[in-house]
Protein backbone atom coordinates (compact mmCIF):
# COMPACT_ATOMS: atom_id res chain seq x y z
CA UNK A 1 0.00 0.00 0.00
CA UNK A 2 1.44 3.38 -1.00
CA UNK A 3 1.56 6.19 1.51
CA UNK A 4 -1.25 7.97 -0.27
CA UNK A 5 -3.45 4.85 -0.33
CA UNK A 6 -2.69 4.20 3.31
CA UNK A 7 -3.73 7.74 4.22
CA UNK A 8 -6.96 7.42 2.26
CA UNK A 9 -7.67 4.09 3.94
CA UNK A 10 -7.06 5.57 7.40
CA UNK A 11 -9.36 8.50 6.63
CA UNK A 12 -12.11 6.07 5.63
CA UNK A 13 -11.63 4.08 8.82
CA UNK A 14 -11.80 7.29 10.89
CA UNK A 15 -14.92 8.47 9.06
CA UNK A 16 -16.61 5.10 9.48
CA UNK A 17 -15.80 5.18 13.20
CA UNK A 18 -17.24 8.67 13.58
CA UNK A 19 -20.40 7.68 11.71
CA UNK A 20 -20.81 4.63 13.91
CA UNK A 21 -20.39 6.70 17.08
CA UNK A 22 -22.94 9.25 15.88
CA UNK A 23 -25.37 6.44 15.09
CA UNK A 24 -24.89 4.91 18.53
CA UNK A 25 -25.40 8.27 20.24
CA UNK A 26 -28.54 8.85 18.22
CA UNK A 27 -29.92 5.45 19.14
CA UNK A 28 -29.40 6.31 22.78
CA UNK A 29 -31.14 9.65 22.35
CA UNK A 30 -34.24 8.05 20.86
CA UNK A 31 -34.49 4.70 22.63
CA UNK A 32 -37.36 3.61 24.87
CA UNK A 33 -37.41 4.54 28.53
CA UNK A 34 -35.89 2.10 30.99
CA UNK A 35 -38.64 0.39 32.96
CA UNK A 36 -38.08 -0.24 36.65
CA UNK A 37 -39.10 -3.84 36.02
CA UNK A 38 -36.28 -4.42 33.49
CA UNK A 39 -33.82 -7.00 34.84
CA UNK A 40 -30.84 -4.61 34.78
CA UNK A 41 -32.91 -1.79 36.32
CA UNK A 42 -34.18 -4.04 39.05
CA UNK A 43 -30.66 -5.30 39.82
CA UNK A 44 -29.40 -1.72 40.16
CA UNK A 45 -32.40 -0.48 42.17
CA UNK A 46 -33.29 1.96 39.40
CA UNK A 47 -36.30 4.23 40.05
CA UNK A 48 -37.75 6.72 37.58
CA UNK A 49 -38.31 9.07 40.54
CA UNK A 50 -35.38 9.52 42.92
CA UNK A 51 -37.76 10.30 45.80
CA UNK A 52 -39.15 6.74 45.54
CA UNK A 53 -35.84 5.02 46.28
CA UNK A 54 -36.00 2.55 49.16
CA UNK A 55 -34.04 4.34 51.91
CA UNK A 56 -33.63 1.15 53.95
CA UNK A 57 -32.14 -0.75 51.02
CA UNK A 58 -29.98 2.18 49.87
CA UNK A 59 -29.01 4.17 53.01
CA UNK A 60 -26.40 6.19 51.08
CA UNK A 61 -29.01 7.55 48.68
CA UNK A 62 -29.86 11.25 49.03
CA UNK A 63 -32.77 13.07 47.41
CA UNK A 64 -30.31 15.41 45.69
CA UNK A 65 -28.90 12.45 43.74
CA UNK A 66 -30.50 11.79 40.37
CA UNK A 67 -29.50 10.82 36.85
CA UNK A 68 -29.08 14.46 35.82
CA UNK A 69 -26.36 14.88 38.48
CA UNK A 70 -24.69 11.54 37.70
CA UNK A 71 -21.47 11.43 35.71
CA UNK A 72 -22.84 8.61 33.54
CA UNK A 73 -25.88 10.60 32.33
CA UNK A 74 -25.49 11.42 28.64
CA UNK A 75 -28.34 13.89 28.29
CA UNK A 76 -27.91 17.64 28.40
CA UNK A 77 -28.47 19.34 31.79
CA UNK A 78 -32.10 20.26 31.02
CA UNK A 79 -33.11 17.10 29.14
CA UNK A 80 -35.97 15.15 30.74
CA UNK A 81 -34.35 11.88 29.68
CA UNK A 82 -30.95 10.80 28.43
CA UNK A 83 -28.77 7.85 27.67
CA UNK A 84 -26.80 5.93 30.28
CA UNK A 85 -24.06 3.40 29.38
CA UNK A 86 -25.51 0.96 31.94
CA UNK A 87 -28.72 0.81 29.89
CA UNK A 88 -27.45 0.83 26.31
CA UNK A 89 -30.00 1.92 23.72
CA UNK A 90 -32.49 3.11 26.33
CA UNK A 91 -33.32 6.32 28.13
CA UNK A 92 -33.17 7.00 31.85
CA UNK A 93 -35.23 9.77 33.44
CA UNK A 94 -33.28 12.85 34.53
CA UNK A 95 -34.98 12.63 37.92
CA UNK A 96 -34.32 8.89 38.15
CA UNK A 97 -31.66 7.13 40.20
CA UNK A 98 -29.83 3.83 40.47
CA UNK A 99 -27.28 2.42 42.89
CA UNK A 100 -24.43 3.12 40.43
CA UNK A 101 -24.95 6.88 40.84
CA UNK A 102 -21.67 8.79 40.91
CA UNK A 103 -21.50 12.54 41.31
CA UNK A 104 -20.91 14.41 38.08
CA UNK A 105 -17.74 16.50 38.16
CA UNK A 106 -18.62 20.17 38.62
Using CB under 6 A as the binding criterion, the count of chain residues that bind ligand SF4 stands at: 13
Render the burial of 80-106: b for 16+ CB within 10 Å, e for the rest: ebbbbebbeebbbbbbbbbeebeeeee
Q: Is 100 a residue that touches ligand SF4 (CB under 6 A)? A: yes
The residue count for the chain: 106
Element at 39 (helix H, strand E): helix 39-44
- Closest to ligand SF4 by CB, 5 or 93: 93
81, 93 in Cβ contact below 8 A?
Answer: yes
Q: Is 53 a residue that touches ligand SF4 (CB under 6 A)? A: no
Binding span for ligand SF4 by CB under 6 A among 8-16, 19-27, 54-62, 93-101? 93-101
Interacting residues toward ligand SF4 by CB under 6 A: 46, 67, 70, 72-73, 84, 86, 92, 96-98, 100-101
Amino acid sequence: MSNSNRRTFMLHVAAAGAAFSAGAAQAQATGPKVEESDAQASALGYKQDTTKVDAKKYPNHAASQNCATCQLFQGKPKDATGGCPLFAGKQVVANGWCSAWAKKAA
